[in-house]
Amino acid sequence: MMTDELLEEYKKCWEKDRLVINIGKCPKCENLVSRVKIELVDASVAFGQTKWNAISCLCPSCNMILSIQIDPVAIMNDTLKAIGKR
């Protein structure tokens, strides 16, 4: 059962037509993480030649690396280029 106070709290959390409730904490500084800083990094297989563009997501409070993934924009651009070459 949703109380009026909880409903008000949910309403405050609506931002740009999406519900934003952040409960995730940084494992190092334990601050709530409502956004991350992105750094561009290179990813490669050990001893390999192939390099990918990757992004690392950092805690905005202490710069702890929270995750690293292949850069989705670079993947999209590379895919579009590859399709264009066929």
Joined together, the tokens standing for residue 52 give 């990918």
Three-point CA angle 18, 2, 7, nearest 5°: 45
Q: How far is the CB of 25 from Zn ion (least distance, A)?
A: 8
The site string for Zn ion over 22-61 (x = CB under 5 A, - otherwise) reads ----x-xx-----------------------------x-x
Cα–Cα distance for residue pair 52/56, rounded to 1 Å: 13
Position 26, amino acid: C
Taking the least distance from each CB to Zn ion, the nearer of 21 and 29 is 29
**Site of interaction with Zn ion (CB under 5 A):** 26, 28-29, 59, 61-62, 64
